Amino acid sequence: MHLLLIHQAFVTTGEAGGTRHIELARWLIRRGYRLTVITSPVSYLTGEAKRGTDTPREETVDRIRILYAPTSSGLHRGFVQRLFAFFSFMFSSYRLALSVADVDVVWGTSPNLFQALSAWAAARRKRARFLLEIRDLWPDFAIGMGVLKNPLLIWGARFLERFLYRKADRIIVNSPGFISHVQRLSGKTPGLVPNAADVEMFTADESADLIGAASWREGNEFIVMYTGAHGPANDLDTALAAARILSDRKAAIRFVFVGSGKEKARLIALSEALKLENVTFLPPVSKAEIKNLIAAADAGLAILKAIPEFTTTYPNKVFDFMAAGKPVLCQIDGVIRDVVERYDAGIFVSPGRAEALADAASELAADRERGRRMGRNGREAIRNDFSREKTAMKFEAELDALSADLRG
């Protein structure tokens, strides 16, 4: 079976960003599938060209054929420019998809819905099956964040969402919190292929200089690490407010923020204005490198804005921290809180409350053995219930069901 994935934010393990799709792709290749990916040469995290002027039109990584569709670089320059970047990829990826021969399944993924529309159009043109993957409830998240306000645009986005759900030959979701929403809009029961992690990918290299990696640590500080996007949804202002509270308490606790995004420059400026000497900002690193940074931390921070829509999500970073054996300070309510508490893999903190976050960090700093025990619990949970291999097997079962539908 030949799968064509259209995904603007696709990255390899040598790049910064979520690696759900490259890991699934590797599994599929080992299982005998053919896989072609159409992605953007512009980084979804930074809005800059991934390799300057050196991005090839096509390359092969781990036997996966990757095609690069021309895309506007305005992702982080404002709402209109962001929409233009989405539209430019939608049109260029569709044109590129038409050149890919012998496709059986076109795999669309959302967010954003525009690239999923490109996948539907390509599947229709090629008379292939359309597999739709939902990783966030879009446009609900954008509306909840106040990013999407225009009533006409909201109507159009909701129309597009319902259209794609109904046109999909099969739908999968990465969080159990999305299932009822998809059922309500489409009348279909989606398959659950949850986010997961690979314990081996988060085992620090034996030769790694963790002391060097943690050159920003002073003495025996307790390190709380955040990795990922620095955007409006990530509520890092609350984390900085917690750092300020801990600084006033003279607690030996440091917050380390690893990644990039449209809010990073403002957050750095705010940290400097507040004279927070217990805060460190680091640039984004690849998944292949992040394990050594996380190994030098004492706890991981998962945080999102306190809006109802985010109670449905399964953030990648929670599973990454669990795979790395680090306790999670989980400042997200809902289904991901259930995971952290069910496995005793961290501490839930009410979203939006800086003092509660400072208190939770202080709890773990005061009882480091408790944190290590939570870390072991999380790592075992990944091995038993959220391994990448188990996720890949669930994905393959969805492909088998799609094939059965074809035969039927």
Q: What is the extent of the structural domain holding 24?
A: 2-196+387-407
Whether 86 and 225 map to the same domain: the answer is: no
Whether 302 and 205 map to the same domain: the answer is: yes
Tell whether the torsion through CA atoms of 179, 8, 10 and 223 is positive or negative: negative
Whether 229 and 375 map to the same domain: the answer is: yes
Whether 243 and 380 map to the same domain: the answer is: yes
Place of tokens 């320059």: 77
Are the CB atoms for 190 and 184 separated by under 8 Å? no
Q: Is 404 helix (H, G, I), strand (E, B) or coil?
A: helix
In this prediction the pTM is 0.94
Q: How far apart are CA 312 and CA 258, in angstroms?
A: 24
Whether 19 and 155 map to the same domain: the answer is: yes
Q: What confidence score (pLDDT) does residue 209 get?
A: 56
Q: How many domains does the chain have?
A: 2
> Which CATH number characterizes residue 265's domain?
3.40.50.2000
Q: How far apart are CA 290 and CA 284, in angstroms?
A: 9
Give the residue from 199, 201, 190 showing the smallest Cα distance to 395: 190
Whether 90 and 219 map to the same domain: the answer is: no
Give the residue from 289, 339, 399 showing the smallest Cα distance to 24: 399
Q: What confidence score (pLDDT) does residue 52 get?
A: 65
Whether 217 and 352 map to the same domain: the answer is: yes
Convert 285-320 to b/e letters by CB count within 10 Å (16 or more is b): bebebbbbbbbbbbbbbbbbbbbebbbbbbbbbbbb
For 111-216, strand residue ranges (E) read 129-134, 170-173, 191-192
Whether 29 and 110 map to the same domain: the answer is: yes
Whether 153 and 105 map to the same domain: the answer is: yes
Q: What confidence score (pLDDT) does residue 403 get?
A: 82
Q: How far apart are CA 387 and CA 20, in angstroms?
A: 12
Query: What radius of gyration do the chain's Cα atoms show?
Result: 21
Q: What confidence score (pLDDT) does residue 406 get?
A: 61
Q: Is the peptide bond preceding residue 194 cis, with omega within 30 degrees of 0?
A: no
Whether 282 and 403 map to the same domain: the answer is: no
Token pair for 9: 């934010």
Per-residue pLDDT of the chain (408 residues; tens, 9 = 90+): 999 999 999 998 888 788 899 999 999 999 999 999 999 999 887 778 877 666 778 999 999 999 999 998 877 788 888 889 999 999 999 999 999 999 999 999 999 999 999 999 999 999 999 999 999 999 999 999 998 999 999 999 999 999 999 999 999 999 999 999 999 999 999 999 999 999 998 988 765 555 455 677 888 999 999 999 999 999 999 999 999 999 999 999 999 999 999 899 999 999 999 999 999 999 998 888 888 899 999 999 999 999 999 999 999 999 999 999 999 999 999 999 999 999 999 999 999 999 999 999 999 999 999 999 999 999 999 999 999 999 999 999 999 998 876 655
Whether 243 and 270 map to the same domain: the answer is: yes
User: How far lies 303's CA from each of 249, 271, 312, in Å?
Assistant: 22, 18, 14
Whether 192 and 318 map to the same domain: the answer is: no
Q: Is 353 helix (H, G, I), strand (E, B) or coil?
A: coil
Q: How far apart are CA 390 and CA 383, in angstroms?
A: 9
